[in-house]
Amino acid sequence: MNYVILLSAGVGKRLGLGINKGFVTVNDKTLLEINIENFLKHKKINSLIIVTDSKSLIPAMEITNKYQNGSIPINVIVGGKERQDSAFNGLKFLKRMPINDDDVVIFHNVANPLFSHQEVTSVITECNKYGSAAVGRKVKNTIRNVNKLKISTGVICRDNLYEMETPQASLFGIAFSSFTKAFSKNYYGTDDVELIEKAGFKVKIVESSEENFKITTEKDLQLAKLIFKNNE
């Protein structure tokens, strides 16, 4: 079984819109709707858990009600203060369901609406092989390290550097134990698979497409609108 935890509790301060990112509109559809529709079309997805903030719970449920007649169950739950808290709330929700340790959990940001079905399939496949997998984009630009005075201290080799995106996947048993361990140490990571690495497990990196980027700024939003329009 493959479960998706769709993280949609962030406000997105850098976008400057002052609303939950899931309700940001791209060409007449919210990011939440775009993500839901994309996941529901994927043949390997068995369940979808949407994690939102408490103020957005009812609007999120109103959106998801339009998609409740299909074969894939959709649940909406409240997240936490930080993204990691929200992801863990999703895992704790799954823990109360009849889920197995070797089922796959896919963490995905609602702000990554341009993910492909191939990326989802690949992270599921590699997750089953390695225990965890995540999409990432190979760094292209020259990266320099600098000191406190912003004086360059040299170029960092980019051969093995990747910018991380979502989806990121893990076997449920590995994810739950890794998150539990991180919280016991009050440790917050920058993404989901960092906690899994910290717990001593392997993470397989899957190549991300150029279109799968996180909408963080107004420029990102305008680019996403252009891509969706061109893909119509």
3-state secondary structure the chain: CEEEEEEECCCCHHHCCCCCHHHCEECCEEHHHHHHHHHHCCCCCCEEEEEECHHHHHHHHHHHHHHCCCCCCEEEEECCCCHHHHHHHHHHHHHCCCCCCCCEEEEEECCCCCCCHHHHHHHHHHHHHHCEEEEEEECCCCEEEECCCCCEEEEECCCCCEEEEEEEEEEHHHHHHHHHHHHHCCCCCCCHHHHHHHCCCCCEEEECCCCCCCCCCHHHHHHHHHHHHHHC
| Whole-number pLDDT of residue 137 | 95
For 50-80, write each residue's pLDDT tens digit: 999 999 999 999 999 999 877 899 999 999 9
Check whether 19 has a pLDDT greater than 90.
no
Are 9 and 210 in contact by the 8 Å Cβ rule? The answer is no
For 196-214, write each residue's pLDDT tens digit: 999 999 999 999 999 999 9
| Whole-number pLDDT of residue 45 | 97
Check whether 100 has a pLDDT greater than 90.
yes
Task: Report the share of the chain in percent with pLDDT over 90.
Answer: 88
| Whole-number pLDDT of residue 29 | 94
| Whole-number pLDDT of residue 15 | 75
Question: How do the domains of the chain map onto residue ranges?
Answer: 2-231
Neighbour-count burial of 186, counting CB atoms closer than 10 A to its CB (0-12 exposed, 13-18 middle, 19+ buried): exposed
Is CATH 3.90.550.10 the classification given to domain 2-231?
A: yes
Check whether 186 has a pLDDT greater than 80.
yes
| Whole-number pLDDT of residue 76 | 97
Q: What number is the average pLDDT over the span 88-98?
A: 95
Check whether 17 has a pLDDT greater than 80.
no
